[in-house]
Structure 1
Amino acid sequence: MDPTFLSATALANLVRTRDLGALELLDHYIARVEAHDSRINAVVVRDFDRARARARALDSQADKSAPLFGVPTTVKESFDVQGLPTTRGHMAMKDKPVGMSSIAIRRLEAAGAVIFGKTNVPVDLSDWQSYNPVYGTSSNPWNAAHTPGGSSGGSAAALAAGLTGFEIGSDIGGSIRVPAHFCGVFGHKPTFGLLPNFGDPAISSAAGTDISVIGPLGRSAADLAVALEVMAGPDPDETALTLNLPAPRFTGLKDLRVAVWADQPGQATDAETAAMLLGLADGLERQGVTVSRTARPEFDPTEAYHLYLRLLDAGWSGRMTDAVVEAKRKRLDVLPDSDTSADAIMLRMLEVTHRAWLGLNEQRFKWRRTSTAFFQEWDVLLCPAFGTAALPHRQDGEPWQRRITVEGQDIAYNDLLFWPGLTGGYHLPGTVAPMGVTRAGLPLGVQITGPLYGDRTTIAAAALLEKAWMGFKPPPGW
């Protein structure tokens, strides 16, 4: 059996039943990286020798019951792995190995995963693409002229191309969900705070970042479910609390209550994406699913989106250097009052007071409760993961300077934050599953959102869609 495109759960079972050794499986993926990664530049940090030593140790271990036992795994470059650098795209960090692995890495290894490399990201994890001065540009295995997304772009590309068995990424503005959508794989953005990620104290934020989460990517919904059980739970360094997530609220398609939000006036979504989502709704309805194409949470979508943008900019302001802040101040000085782009809304947060932020946060929690009420009536909300399929490579200027065209409409590059932000900004879980392929041959994903701590519900819905609609398909030529 060729293991290349199997799910992580299937790979673990092969090792557990001794159909393949952990070292044999690892060498299979290492050989694929060495033979094929030059086409997409996804696995940019390689830790093959240590991984082989770990795989040999696992092969000699009698107890092989761990859920990810022997699964060759790569992780997003921003995770701290002891002995490897964490650069986030900055050349100054290239030769500085960290001294402690992130909690997520430790939990993956305790679950039997064999980490053998790290995958590419944009500088400071802040782009729809994945390129940086340290490791160069990653490409989409479906079409190398297009990006695999950002900021977990190398993660999704490596999975889609069959260069790894499992991946983890992070998400503040779609950084798991958009690459999963661009590359045709599964991805899960958890409920905020559910998966801790403190790493090396020398470089890791002790407080974390508002909205930002970590989560899994895989080639099946089952991979996401296993990873959730492995990685979720309070920070073990700080608390002895345990986690008890609610079970999915349905057992099959006919129990499922689905709201579908295919497009939004004033927010660019290409027609093919919206049509494919409505086609999915029709297909689910024919299979007995309760579907509404009009049900929405009771808030103004534009106001909710703009609030997310303000909170997003405030959240990641802690990462900004003094030089970046000064450059933003100069842009703000000449910003026209008429500019309502995403970048302009975020830029105006530069001098916000803490009292003003508390008011924004209060409104966020009010609308979060509105979403909670909505999900008492509906199990999940299906919407686009992003407004378009995978974007062509763009490295001209800063992201805030770029323009793109969607359905003939010229918009700012970052105005595509609407679909990732509408749910992510309110701390809700969101799972992306493959939905189809465009006429141009690029994958499209559906975003499945649910209530706070409804992570098992959104992943279970993805599993139902995987069986009833479509699952992972390898890109042609891989």
Structure 2
Amino acid sequence: MSDVPFQSAVDQSRALAAGEISSRELVELYLERIATHNPVLNAVVTLDPERARREAAEADAARAAGQDLGPLHGVPITVKDSFETAGMRTVGGRVDLKDHVPDQDAEAVRRLRSAGAVIMGKSNMPPGNQDVQADNAVFGPSSNPWDTTRTSGGSAGGGAVATASGLAAFDFGSEIGGSTRIPAHFNGLYGHKSTWRSIPLSGHVPYGPGVGWWTDADMACGGAQVRDARDLVPILRATAGTADHDAGFSYTLAPPRSTKLSDFRVAVWGEDPSCPVDSDVATAVDDAVTALRAAGAKVTIRPASLPVDIATNHRKTFLPLLFGALSYDRSGLTPAPNAALLARLLQHPRGDAGPALLGTFQSHYHWLKAHTVRNEIRQRWFEFFKDFDIVLMPVTPTAAPAHHNKLIDRFGRPYEVDGVRRPYWDQIKWNAVANVSGGPATTIPVRKGRSGLPIGLQAMGPSGGDLTTIEFAALLGREVEGFVPPPAFA
């Protein structure tokens, strides 16, 4: 039983189907581990054990009765606290929502339940999804299981910690700028950003209770963090598809372009002057290239046909689109953070505070300019992926940094790359490439760095090519370190 909490969701499903374990036993195992380890990690912030036990018993009864079962039947999971859950508190890291209990499930949550998943509780996050750590004034910070003095990453940091530490089979989350991929990289997991609009975000809390039912934030996507890349397949099959209110739009999962590493055409984009990476990340890129070449993959280092550079993607497109999308949620525009923003703007007029201020209050004309550039870049990616199947890139420039302990001064936190101070928000620049392109991206745990912390890379693919990036991640993960349980919690 000691291995069961760290099994893949697919293996757990097989064990449930074979009668080797019941859903009720699996739920009890995870509840026991949450009781033991969560006080230190602070990953799961709302828990409903009695409902989980009841739903697990119902799942076991349905299996025994020979009913049709979904692809996640009886598997215990957590859900990022940005998704509304009927009868279960949904806070979204916001003080004004600390007692909010929705009366309906978000659309993705409804689909997870329909697929048979047992939702035990909610995982920690920053207020409104707007940070690269999981910390807020309601619940406090989540800690990295590889080193509890380090951040979990964000925004889906609590879910990554829960999954890596064996507190749930997986966590279902969301992202707009690396919120699933960054925590997966920091905690040694496979994390997936789905193709934009493939998973409906109706009922996603950042817009406020009820408001998000008919509005999906620009660039925002569903995603998940798992211990085995192929767990992502049943998760996507359960959640991807047309929303009832999204008339005329359809989405189907394209088959993987290959099922052997030797057949993949891989572009490696490992460095960019606008966002330098440290030696640990560079070594991870080298390790991955070595493994790919040994497997016979066609590898091209930084092809000249790359559609965009980091600086152009970030400043001209991602930032105005991001702050335009986030501007609907004005809950954080209170006197203290506003004062901090203005102070940073005066101290560093060319820093990150300026684009944040301009983007939050931009005109529709300025948003359309960024949107036009975005569409040009997306078309160039479409052409690029005729010649390549995957772009392999860093996730962030370093392994998980120390806890930042600042919730208000978002533009004044220290962050270093090989001893050189860099802007805090460099951590999202590599991820923003896929958010602008709209395509899927899957993280792969490659190795441990000098500090013993996990180092991952991300595989980005063409829009609709989720199964391609997932299959590539699964195959490459076998050739590098892959997921390893954090020793202190194994």
What range describes the TM-score normalised by the shorter chain of this pair? over 0.9
User: Deviations along 1:7-66, whole A, 9 cap, x unmatched?
Assistant: 011111111111111101110111111111112011110111011111111111123642
Native 8 Å contact 2:252 2:464 kept in 1: no
Native 8 Å contact 1:90 1:132 kept in 2: yes
TM-superposed deviation, 1:138: 0.8
Counterpart for residue 33 of structure 1? 34
Counterpart for residue 429 of structure 1? 440
1:178 partner SS: helix
Which deviates further from its counterpart, 202-211 or 261-270? 202-211
Task: Say yes or no: does 1:302 pair with 2:311.
Answer: yes
Native 8 Å contact 1:341 1:415 kept in 2: no
Of residues 140, 150, 156, the one that matches 1:152 is 156
- Unaligned 5+ runs, structure 2: none
TM-superposed deviation, 1:125: 1.4
Counterpart for residue 406 of structure 1? 417
4+ aligned runs moved over 6 Å, structure 1? none
Judged with a 3 Å threshold, the aligned counterparts in structure 2 of structure 1 residues 89 and 331 are, in CA distance, closer, same or farther, namely closer
Cα distance in 1 between the residues matched to 2:85 and 2:360: 33
Cα distance in 2 between the residues matched to 1:163 and 1:11: 14
Listed as ranges, the matches of 1:34-433 within 5 Å are 34-61=35-62, 62-63=66-67, 65-199=69-203, 202-239=210-247, 243-295=251-303, 296-306=305-315, 307-321=317-331, 323-324=333-334, 328=338, 331=341, 335=345, 339-396=349-406, 397-433=408-444
Judged with a 3 Å threshold, the aligned counterparts in structure 2 of structure 1 residues 331 and 57 are, in CA distance, closer, same or farther, namely closer
Cα distance in 1 between the residues matched to 2:87 and 2:35: 22
- Aligned residue-pair number: 478
Counterpart for residue 9 of structure 2? 8
Please report the TM-score for the alignment, with normalisation by the length of structure 2: 0.93
Which deviates further from its counterpart, 333-342 or 274-283? 333-342
Of residues 476, 481, 484, the one that matches 1:465 is 476
Cα distance in 1 between the residues matched to 2:214 and 2:414: 36
TM-superposed deviation, 1:92: 2.8
Cα distance in 2 between the residues matched to 1:162 and 1:45: 17
TM-superposed deviation, 1:327: 6.4
Judged with a 3 Å threshold, the aligned counterparts in structure 2 of structure 1 residues 126 and 32 are, in CA distance, closer, same or farther, namely same
Judged with a 3 Å threshold, the aligned counterparts in structure 2 of structure 1 residues 64 and 143 are, in CA distance, closer, same or farther, namely farther
Cα distance in 2 between the residues matched to 1:112 and 1:301: 41
Cα distance in 1 between the residues matched to 2:337 and 2:41: 33
Which deviates further from its counterpart, 349-358 or 427-436? 349-358
Cα distance in 1 between the residues matched to 2:13 and 2:103: 29
User: Deviations along 1:308-332, whole A, 9 cap, x unmatched?
Assistant: 1121111111112494599659956
- Unaligned 5+ runs, structure 1: none
Which deviates further from its counterpart, 144-153 or 342-351? 342-351
Native 8 Å contact 1:89 1:134 kept in 2: yes
Counterpart for residue 475 of structure 1? 486
TM-superposed deviation, 1:393: 0.4
User: Deviations along 1:330-349, whole A, 9 cap, x unmatched?
Assistant: 95698469743333333232
User: Deviations along 1:417-473, whole A, 9 cap, x unmatched?
Assistant: 211112212212111111111121100111100111111111111111122223211
The alignment-based identity, stated in percent, is 35
Judged with a 3 Å threshold, the aligned counterparts in structure 2 of structure 1 residues 203 and 84 are, in CA distance, closer, same or farther, namely farther
Which deviates further from its counterpart, 345-354 or 183-192? 345-354
Native 8 Å contact 1:328 1:347 kept in 2: no
Which deviates further from its counterpart, 229-238 or 65-74? 229-238
Judged with a 3 Å threshold, the aligned counterparts in structure 2 of structure 1 residues 327 and 55 are, in CA distance, closer, same or farther, namely closer
Which deviates further from its counterpart, 41-50 or 352-361? 352-361
Which deviates further from its counterpart, 348-357 or 160-169? 348-357
Which deviates further from its counterpart, 127-136 or 296-305? 296-305
Judged with a 3 Å threshold, the aligned counterparts in structure 2 of structure 1 residues 240 and 404 are, in CA distance, closer, same or farther, namely closer
Cα distance in 1 between the residues matched to 2:417 and 2:462: 30
Judged with a 3 Å threshold, the aligned counterparts in structure 2 of structure 1 residues 400 and 308 are, in CA distance, closer, same or farther, namely same
Cα distance in 2 between the residues matched to 1:56 and 1:321: 40
- Cα-Cα RMSD: 2.1
Cα distance in 2 between the residues matched to 1:268 and 1:325: 34
Which deviates further from its counterpart, 411-420 or 241-250? 241-250
Residue identity opposite 1:70 in structure 2: G
Cα distance in 1 between the residues matched to 2:340 and 2:482: 48
Judged with a 3 Å threshold, the aligned counterparts in structure 2 of structure 1 residues 82 and 323 are, in CA distance, closer, same or farther, namely same
